[in-house]
């Protein structure tokens, strides 16, 4: 929910968003929960970018679509670069039977500072961190970099977003997404 809070703070809304999501939706719980949360708001659309081996399972795509989220899929990184928000996550190397595949994926699926310079549609880049090759460190100093703000939202203090985030979690948890494991 910190992700949604960061988008609300930066964009000013949680509806009518065009978001590029990558790069390991098969293994990433944060990508799945982020997409589910986006489906709670009207007129949002995502394009999920990943290597075919890491594609979002079809039952999850169908579930998100049934909830009103427009979902596109691509194995071409450029498909996400016309979106106003990018949400990227590391490849979950520990979940691959052949971890050497991840090294190749990291070379191909990385957002660079040059990508953001050439594609000015991208205004905000989020990453739940840690960063493991999915984002060029040169982006850190660019105005699009929202991931440090995103991680700073975990702080406590006068402007602590925790009550907002907790209320949002409770509201969203009332509708489970099919196909996701439930942990106790």
Give pLDDT tens digits for 30-76. Answer: 999 999 999 999 999 999 999 999 999 999 999 999 999 999 999 99
Residue 148: both structure tokens together: 């440090």
d(CA 143, CA 183): 37
Dihedral angle of Cα 3, 129, 138, 19, to the nearest 10 degrees = -40
Q: What is the pLDDT of residue 108?
A: 95
Q: With beta carbons less than 8 A apart as the criterion, state whether 20 and 79 touch.
A: yes
pLDDT value at residue 184: 36
The pLDDT of residue 152 = 73
Q: Which residues make Cβ contacts (< 8 Å) with residue 54, sequence separation at least 6?
A: 23, 24, 25, 26, 27, 91, 105
How many angstroms separate the CA atoms of 30 and 1, rounded?
10
* Banded model confidence at residue 161, pLDDT cuts 50, 70, 90: low
pLDDT, tens digit, 9 for 90 and up, residues 118-136: 999 999 999 998 899 999 9
pLDDT at 58: 98
Q: How large is the average pLDDT for residues 9-38?
A: 97
| Cα–Cα dist 95/163, whole Å | 33
Beta bridge partners of 47: 20, 72
Please name every residue paired with 40 in a beta bridge, in sequence order, or none if there are none. none
């Amino acid at each position: 929910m910190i992700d949604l809070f960061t988008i609300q703070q930066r964009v000013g809304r949680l509806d009518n968003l065009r978001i590029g999501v990558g790069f390991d939706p098969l293994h990433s719980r944060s990508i799945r929960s982020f997409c589910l949360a986006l489906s709670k708001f009207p007129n949002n659309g995502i394009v999920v970018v990943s290597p075919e081996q890491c594609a979002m399972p079809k039952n999850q795509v169908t579930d998100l679509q049934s909830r009103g989220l427009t979902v596109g899929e691509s194995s071409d990184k450029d498909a996400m670069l016309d979106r106003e928000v990018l949400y990227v996550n590391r490849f979950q190397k520990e979940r691959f039977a052949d971890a050497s595949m991840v090294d190749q994926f990291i070379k191909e699926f990385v957002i660079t500072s040059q990508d953001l310079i050439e594609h000015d549609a991208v205004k905000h880049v989020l990453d739940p961190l840690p960063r493991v090759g999915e984002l060029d460190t040169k982006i850190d100093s660019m105005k699009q970099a929202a991931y440090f703000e995103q991680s700073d939202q975990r702080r406590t203090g006068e402007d602590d977003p925790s009550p907002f985030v907790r209320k949002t979690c409770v509201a969203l948890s009332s509708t489970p997404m099919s196909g996701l494991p439930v942990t106790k």
